Amino acid sequence: MSTVTLRHPSLPADQEIEVDAGALPHYAGAGWQEVPAEELEKRAALKVKAQAEAAAAEEQAADEPEQSEPAESTDRPARSRTKTAAKKNEEES
């Protein structure tokens, strides 16, 4: 069973349908037009190219060593100044 891709001139260009080739006369009578084979071939080629580029990028990312996260610092965190000020106020009272 072969199919054809159709679009309607009153709809957005990217809104297409795929129907059985035997139903083409029915759809053509309603104004649907067949998408040119050259356009479909170009799209298929672009899709294959994009998939190949994505696979190459994924492979390259897998080949690169993972960057390790920086080691945690053993330094103590800075003390809050508000706590120190509160303690001073308590001692002065």
Q: Is residue 65 part of a domain?
A: no
CB 9 within 8 A of CB 26: no
As for how many domains the chain has, the answer is: 1
What region does 14 belong to: left with phi over 0, alpha with psi -120 to 50, or beta? Answer: alpha
Is 28 a domain residue? yes
Q: Please identify every stretch of the chain with a pLDDT value under 70, giving residue numbers as ranges.
A: 65-74, 77-93
**Quick check: is 69 in a domain?**
no
Question: Which residue type sits at 80?
Answer: S
- Which pLDDT score is estimated for 64? 72
pTM exceeds cut of 0.95: no
Structural domain includes residue 45:
yes
- Provide the domain limits for residue 16: 3-59
